[in-house]
Amino acid sequence: MQNSSKHRNNKLINKKQNKTIAFVCGGTGGHFYPAIAVAQEYDGRSIFFCSKNRYDSSIVKKYGFPVHNITTARKNPVKIIKAFFEAASVIKKEKVAVLISAGGYATVPVVIAAYFKKIPVIILEQNVIPGKANRYLQYLARKICISFLESAHYFNSPGVCFTKNPIRKNFISDKISDSFEKLQLNSKRTVLVFGGSLGSDRINQIFEKNYKYFMDNDIDLIHILGQRYHSRKNIKEPIKILEQPVKKTKVIIMAYFEKMDLLYEKADVVVARAGATTISELIYFKKPALLIPYPYSMKNHQLENALQFKKQGCGFYMEEKDITFEKIIENLDGLLVLNPPEEQDEYNAREIIMQEIRKEL
């Protein structure tokens, strides 16, 4: 009798794993990386709705997931209606069982299409202050998975659950990461700087003017400019290296880097924007950081993210209007004596979110 019950349970699990789940997300890493992380946890088939003509589609494909590109528009009603019908067609054709939405205006027509098709919707909210799309779409969702407890105040749904922000199980390698692994870093410490997936002009310019400081003070600097800024600078090499002739201290300049776990492993301290995915990765990899929140984020949500990061004892933050190179160096010196707290437990956001998804399969 017991074996029969176990057999039925196994059949039910296998049936659920055979179902297709779909993800939809905005065009920046803060939206699509959490979606990729959850998709990596699922044993069955995952598909993605991505924006046309944006690089989120190419990144998702690199991770091996099928992509359906849909029309995107923030306020154009004709394009929004077109996207609705495109999404509805894919949902029907692919027999989607659950839709997971990771935020951004591109998700709106897809979530509405799933709702009309009676497909359960689960929302992922990465930031302390939820984005406008997620706040509007909460009424169409069965569950809202939040990364910060403080986010619960912004939702009226009974389906809110605290899961934290999921981190990718696997970071993919490419030619750039393979080249980087061959480099020797021999300085007394390494600083990693990046301004989010799009880059930051202000942060880039401050560090560019002071490359010599790092080389002269026995500090290796890894500087990720962002694709847009890198193109404007007309840098031809995927990895550009400046080296101090005597000490051999390096400044390593790149447009973008996918295998971030490798960089976190090399870095002693980090300077970055305050996107939720960045913060989750910094905490996970136990890297002290100086955060410089993007000042034009919706309702200044990156500042709220940075406040929570500091509150947890993981580092410091400065508002962009206040930054100077001298203040940055002062903060970096303070980070070197800071001991970020260990993770309280083996809390795995991917697994927790997947449990909520399986309830809807």
What is the spatial distance between Cα 304 and Cα 245, in angstroms, rounded to a whole number?
A: 43
pLDDT tens column, 263-299:
999 999 999 999 999 999 999 999 999 999 999 887 7
CA neighbor of 107 nearest in space, from 139, 137, 78: 137
Strand runs (DSSP E) across 184-324, as ranges?
A: 189-194, 219-224, 239-243, 250-254, 269-272, 289-291, 315-317
What integer is the mean pLDDT of 150-176?
93
- 67-76, 164-173, 199-208, 338-347: lowest mean pLDDT where? 338-347
DSSP one-letter string for 34-92? HHHHHHHH-SSEEEEEEETTSTHHHHHHHTT--EEEE---SS-HHHHHHHHHHHHHHHH
* pLDDT higher at 248 or 140: 140
Q: Given a cut of 50, is residue 74 above it in pLDDT? A: yes
What is the spatial distance between Cα 334 and Cα 318, in angstroms, rounded to a whole number?
A: 13
**Given this chain, do its domains 2-167+348-360 and 175-336 carry the same CATH topology?**
yes
Give me the pLDDT at residue 2, please: 53
Q: Given a cut of 70, is residue 9 above it in pLDDT? A: no
pLDDT tens column, 203-244:
999 999 999 999 999 999 999 998 887 877 778 888 999 998
**For the chain, the helix, strand and coil percentages under 3-state DSSP, each to the nearest 5:** 45, 20, 35
Using 50, 70 and 90 to split pLDDT, how confident is the model at 128?
Answer: very high
- Any idea where the domains of the chain sit in the sequence? 2-167+348-360, 175-336
- 15-19, 124-128, 258-262, 348-352: lowest mean pLDDT where? 15-19
What is the spatial distance between Cα 160 and Cα 139, in angstroms, rounded to a whole number?
A: 11
Under CATH, which architecture does the 2-167+348-360 domain have?
A: 3-Layer(aba) Sandwich (3.40)
Q: Given a cut of 90, is residue 196 above it in pLDDT? A: no
User: What's the fold here for domain 175-336?
Assistant: Rossmann fold (3.40.50)
Give me the pLDDT at residue 344, please: 47
Identify the burial level of 19 via C-beta atoms within 10 angstroms of its C-beta, where 0-12 means exposed, 13-18 middle and 19 or more buried: middle
Share of the chain above pLDDT 70, in %: 93
Using 50, 70 and 90 to split pLDDT, how confident is the model at 3?
Answer: low
Give me the pLDDT at residue 345, please: 47
